Amino acid sequence: MVNINVIIVNTNCSYSSTFMHFIIKSGRSLLFVAFLLLQLQAMAQQIQILDRKSNEPLVGATVRVAGEEEGQISDPQGFVSFNLTEAATLDISFVGYERQQLRAAPNESYTVFMTATTQALSGVTVRGYETGRPLLEVPAAVAVIDAEAFNRYDESSPVAAFNTMTGVRMEQRSPASFRLSIRGSVLRAPFGVRNVKMYWNEIPLTEPNGNTPLNLLDIENMGNVEVIKGPSASLYGAGLGGVVNFTSPKPLPQDNRVQLGYTGGSYGFNRQTAQVNYATETAGIQLSYVNQSADGYRDHSAMDRETIQLLGYVQPSEKQEISVNMFYSSLDYQIPGGLTAEQFAEDPRQARAGSASQNAGIIQNTLNFGISHDIQFSERFGNSTTVYSTFTDFDNPFITDY
């Protein structure tokens, strides 16, 4: 309905009657235009887009005639208007919903229910916290790094990947000397890491004195990493700043391969890798070798590390698994020592006086070997037994004066 208000003003103007006639005539024209618009709207084809689950209108859905580039966008009530002169196929799409097609006839209205698409995200299972549980169900601050995260950064060092975790800080003093702080908990150690307990495939890496030679491990040995932060780390012992669990990926039948790799860089950096994977439905074995060496930027800062890793498992039954985990690491890296401000200004690449003559550095050969037996009696009850041993030959020549 169109309301027209006509106001008559008393005036002596000679053309006032003509002005009133114009207003009335214009009002009739407006009524005709409004009536025509109502008729066109009645002839337009109404299509409403709704969510199948909630029956709520979808605002911003796109409806276009198949084959055409331009289309209509649904309004806040989910409606789209079309004027079809003949039957046509309509293509209906909306972000996060399955695309649909509708065969529409002229002068017919339709209601289209769209189904939201679902995508299952891969879950993260924490093995280091009591039992294997989904990450969202673990009542603790746990950070996880997978093998892909390590591959995003420089493979010569795990520092960049570790520093992506909140509350975790890793520093590298020498080419193979690391410091690890979890939520500010740091104890000074002459070498290695203290106050953090570490495990490799459920075999303790931390020595009885609390020191962990993290520099023995290569990224190839680390695999997936779980870091338990805060008070929950007391599950592994009192007075700990945190716990780090390294888990090597199990060789699978669909991943049988022989892989070789080489990386070269400045200052004499060389890295060679070799890996063999072979597995069946009930057993598997993995053998990997990594050699990484570098001359270093400073004098007397070279390093050379070789690691050999052997992983194997066999499943006598569906509920049992026997696994063997072994790695051997031979590490030799030099320590150039600190410089004064004057020495640094003179030559930042020089080593501290006496470091080279004393051959200051770390020479360490370690063999870590363990056998584990896992049995699952039921969904809620199981047992894991591990027997392991570690052999280390360590030499640390250093300067004793101040």
Please spell the DSSP secondary structure of 299-347, one letter per residue.
TT--EEEEEEEEEEEEEEETTEEEEEEEEEEEEEEE------HHHHHH-
pLDDT of residue 130: 60
Q: Could you tell me the two tokens for 259?
A: 């892989």
Q: Could you tell me the two tokens for 306?
A: 């070789």
Return the ∠ at Cα 225 (arms to 390 and 335), rounded to 5°.
Answer: 60
pLDDT of residue 71: 87
**Cβ neighbours of residue 151 under 8 Å, at least 6 residues apart?**
none
Distance CA 53, CA 64 (A): 24
Residue type, 75: D
Yes or no: say if 275 and 220 are a contact pair by the CB < 8 Å rule. yes
Distance CA 158, CA 153 (A): 8
pLDDT of residue 18: 44
pLDDT of residue 187: 66
pLDDT of residue 345: 93
Residue 380: is its pLDDT beyond 50?
A: yes
Residue 317's Cβ-count burial label (10 Å; 0-12, 13-18, 19+) is exposed
Q: Which of 27-36, 298-307, 327-336, 370-379 has the lowest mean pLDDT?
A: 27-36
Q: Which of 28-32, 160-164, 247-251, 271-275 has the lowest mean pLDDT?
A: 28-32
Tell me the per-residue pLDDT of 331-353, one tens digit each, with 9 for 90 and over.
998 888 889 999 999 999 999 98
Distance CA 187, CA 194 (A): 6
φ, ψ at 280 (rounded to 5°): -115, -170
Yes or no: say if 105 and 88 are a contact pair by the CB < 8 Å rule. no
**DSSP letters for 207-241:** -TTSEE-GGG--HHHHBEEEEEEGGGGGGG-TT-S
Residues belonging to the chain: 402
CA distances from 6 to 9, 24, 357 (A): 10, 8, 110
Distance CA 314, CA 373 (A): 10
Mean pLDDT within 377-396: 88
Yes or no: say if 282 and 319 are a contact pair by the CB < 8 Å rule. no
Residue 329: is its pLDDT beyond 90?
A: yes
Q: Could you tell me the two tokens for 52?
A: 């199948």
Residue 279: is its pLDDT beyond 80?
A: yes
Tell me the per-residue pLDDT of 42-101, one tens digit each, with 9 for 90 and over.
456 788 999 988 888 999 999 998 888 888 899 999 999 888 888 889 999 998 899 999
Tell me the per-residue pLDDT of 177-214, one tens digit each, with 9 for 90 and over.
888 888 877 666 666 787 888 888 888 888 888 888 88
Residue 357: is its pLDDT beyond 80?
A: yes
Of the candidates 317, 308, 323, the one whose C-alpha atom is nearest the C-alpha of residue 371 is: 323
Tell me the per-residue pLDDT of 1-20, one tens digit each, with 9 for 90 and over.
434 343 333 333 434 444 44
Residue 154: is its pLDDT beyond 50?
A: yes
The pLDDT confidence band at residue 372, using thresholds 50, 70 and 90, is: very high
- pTM, two decimals, is 0.64
3-state secondary structure of 45: strand
Yes or no: say if 211 and 193 are a contact pair by the CB < 8 Å rule. yes
Contacts 24+ apart (CB under 8 A), 376-385: 376/319, 376/320, 377/319, 382/131, 384/202
